[in-house]
A and B are shown apart, each in its own frame.
Chain A
Amino acid sequence: MIVALAGNPNTGKSTIFNALTGMKQHVGNWPGVTVEKKEGEMEINGTRVKVVDLPGTYSLTAYSLEEIITRNFIIEEKPDIIVDIIDASNLERNLYLLTELLELHSKIIVVLNMFDEAQKKYNIDVDLMSKILGLPVVPAVGIRGKGIDELKEKILRGKFNPKKVEYPEDVEKRIEKIEEKIKKLGLEPARWYAIKVIENDVEVVKKIKDKGARDILHLAEHLRHEIEDIYGDDIESVMTSFRYSFAHGLFHEVAEPINVGGVTITDMLDHVITHKIFGIPIFLAIMYLSFQFVFLVAAPFQDAIDLLFNGKDAAGGHIPGLVDLSYNWMLTFMPDWLSSFINHGMLRGLGAVLTFTPVIMLLFLILSFLEDSGYLARVAFLMDSVMKKMGLEGRGIIPLMLGFGCNVPAVMATRTLKDENERKLSIALNPLIPCGARIQVFAFLSSIFFPSNPALVLWSLLILSMVVVFFLGYIYSKTIFRGKSEPFVLELPPYRMPTMKGISIHMWEKSEGFLRKAGTIIVGAAAIIWIFAALPWGVEYGSPDSYIGMFAQWIAPIGTAFGLTPEAIISLIFGFFAKEVVIDVLYVLFGSKDAILASMTWAQAYSFMLFMLFYTPCVATLAAVYNETKSKKFTLFVILEGFFLAALFSFTFYTIFTLLGVGA
């Protein structure tokens, strides 16, 4: 006797296979392909039974290897019984395969596995299901061995009186016509062959062609067109839809959701979180609280690291930090300029990055949490619906928001948008969304310049960028990038409580990536800046006579209107290569947090941050933009757009606050 196990993937098929066969298993491949084939043996009351584990599939089309293997095995090897292992906690999904199996075989035992989970969701009337289907139905909990004995019992003594999946009369009539001819050809099961040849299933058509029965193919084609005319759709969708309806109907007949309306936690949360009115305020509140948390918790650690590297000016004089100590120590065996380069240049820069580590890690911790829990995907979705409400056509916002992490892949993700204008719209807006690296830099700057409430400052920048993206998106879509929106749908992952391990891994990967980059670049950036600040030979480090000082004097007038100090401009120039470098540059130029703070008024600092929020995307993003559009003009557009916004906002802000006289 041969029993074949079929079922969707992940329904506990292996678990049940093991429970049935124990150690008597044999693993090989299906002939000619590298799909695993598991066979085993068991004995029920003295009857030897061979058990074959079929590949896990959702359907039995001719589109995938697994599905073809499964159906061919059933047709050719003719197992005595098929056991359909169903994940009863996702009952409806699993019933589609059952409808296909019903057409292929008459002796099917339905195992409702994961019955423990299913009972939390709905009451399943097992007897009714068995009656409707005319098949044995066995509830089971594979991991606890529950239901295995009953399954064995049914394998030996189950009663089968299976129901057909019935199609509407006008389809049935036509199936029968073909079925008769197939029977004469000797193909079994004839009804299945008839249905498939009408559906134009490539494998079946080929088989019939090989048998030389061209008349059947002609007839099938004729009948197919008739059905298509009656239903007005292509045959595949008509027939598949009937089977889905059958599964759907069966599901509703036998399963009754436990909580009214079948509301899951995900549904409930989604109603609140993606709410049309409250969704955005909730998002903003979550971000604000997250930022507060980050700065609050990070502050003491940051101070400690800063103290370690840079020491402290106390009443009794300067308490030396690592940088001072190392500088003095190196003076004992190397010239002053070299020690200064190593310590004031590189070591101090390294310290800068390290002081920032707590913020980086905590911020990534929060982002990882929001992402792993499934929240960030919803935010993307929420933004999309807001845009839709605004009557915005181009819906490229989704790949865009998902670029929250990094703009580069987000730009590349726009490849999925087919409409040229919609794609351009998405790419043009993309760099305006602050990427993870930029958020980090803003967090850093906020904590230096606005120690009393960095979270609020960071938060305001985030809001501003969102507003600008919405506004500009609106304008663009009505004017230069008037695109046709490509219909799409997004599968959102269910909410789940992220695991500590998962989050730590994510946080670590992200922080490490960020720090490693900032750490490597700093060596180069520090060296370059130090050299320019120390040359020409003999000038005081960083004085107006040094190259950097001369450059600063030259560039200064350009920045004044925007409140940008020469140092700020220099850091922005370096930031073009990678935004993280802005932090490094400021540290190398000024040496300490306090000196950076002292270098700008708060109005200048905020202007500086506004400028940074929008000015040109980093080199990598621009490269991606060019790569995706292959247009120099468009890439230039993206740069100019950034500079325009940067100038607009920083100028407006700085002017207003200087006029009000509150900037100082």
Chain B
Amino acid sequence: MIKKVLRGICEGKTLAEIAEEMDMEYSALIAMLEHMVKMGYLVRGKKENNEICSTCPLQKVCSERNYTVYFLTEKGKKLVGSC
């Protein structure tokens, strides 16, 4: 199942599409992604803040965005083969 999820990401599918395709619950898929992060197949893309940000009047807005980006690691890419 792990490989299937990774392949889906490789093919540019959305999480909703992957969940649908695997007939999985969305929340279960997210938990699985987190598990895969721990195992080293994915990394979470963090939003980084630093000083320059504080010069922007909208810094508070951007520090609150509620999304997470997941990227494949080398280990993840190796598992799916071609990506």
Contact = CB atoms under 8 A, between A and B. Distances in A.
Interface in A336-355: none
Interface in A130-153: none
Contact of A377 (B25, B34, B45, B66): B66
Nearest to B70: A489
Contacts, number: 200
B20 to A, nearest CB: 8
A416 B46 CA distance: 7
Nearest to A239: B2
Contacts of A436: 57-58, 61
A490 B1 contact: no
A241 B23 contact: no
A486 B71 contact: yes
A514 B58 CA distance: 7
B60 A58 contact: no
Interface in A92-124: 92-93, 96
A91 B27 CA distance: 9
Nearest to B77: A487
A2 interface: no
B1 to A, nearest CB: 4
A312 interface: no
A406 B46 contact: no
Contacts of B83: 487
Interface string A503-536: 0001001100110111000000000000000000
Interface string A363-402: 0000100010010010011000000100000010011001
Nearest to B22: A248
Interface in B51-67: 52-53, 55-67
Q: Is the interface of A mostly helix, strand, loop or mixed?
A: helix
Interface string A42-77: 000000000000000011010110000000000000
Given A93-B28, A381-B14, A513 B59 contact: yes
Contacts of B70: 488-491
Contacts of B25: 90-93, 251, 262
A267 interface: yes
Contact of A510 (B12, B46, B60): B60
Contacts of A251: 25, 28
A408 B2 contact: no
A619 B56 CA distance: 10
A265 interface: no
Interface string A221-247: 000000000000110110011001101
Given A93-B27, A244-B1, A487 B34 contact: no
Interface stretch (A284-292, A446-454, A620-628): A620-628
Contact of B31 (A61, A96, A267): A96
A233 B42 CA distance: 16
B3 A241 contact: yes
Contact of B59 (A247, A266, A409): A409
Interface in B7-59: 8-10, 12-16, 18, 22-28, 30-35, 38-39, 41, 45-50, 52-53, 55-59
Interface residues of A, number: 78
A240 B59 CA distance: 40
A311 interface: no
Contacts of A435: 56, 58
Nearest to A515: B57
Nearest to A266: B26
Interface string A409-423: 110110110100000
B35 A59 contact: yes
A398 B69 contact: yes
A480 B16 CA distance: 33
Contacts of B60: 509-510, 513
A212 B2 CA distance: 34
A408 B59 CA distance: 9
Contact of B52 (A90, A398, A399, A408): A408
A1 interface: no
Contacts of B39: 61, 63, 236-237, 240
Interface string A198-235: 00000000000000000000000000000000000110
A406 B59 contact: yes
Nearest to B23: A252
A506 B41 CA distance: 35
B55 A416 contact: no
B66 A418 contact: no
A510 B14 contact: no
A165 interface: no
A270 interface: yes
Contacts of A91: 25
Contact of B55 (A96, A398, A408): A408
B33 to A, nearest CB: 7
A437 interface: yes
Given A90-B27, A416-B46, A517 B10 contact: no
28 contacts: A61-B39, A90-B27, A90-B28, A92-B25, A96-B31, A96-B35, A241-B1, A267-B16, A406-B53, A406-B59, A406-B62, A408-B52, A409-B48, A412-B49, A416-B46, A416-B71, A418-B71, A435-B56, A436-B58, A487-B72, A489-B15, A489-B70, A490-B68, A491-B33, A492-B67, A509-B61, A513-B59, A624-B52
Given A96-B35, A406-B56, A486-B72, 16 more contacts: A58-B34, A93-B27, A96-B31, A237-B3, A405-B58, A412-B52, A413-B45, A435-B56, A487-B83, A489-B9, A489-B15, A489-B33, A490-B67, A490-B69, A491-B70, A513-B57
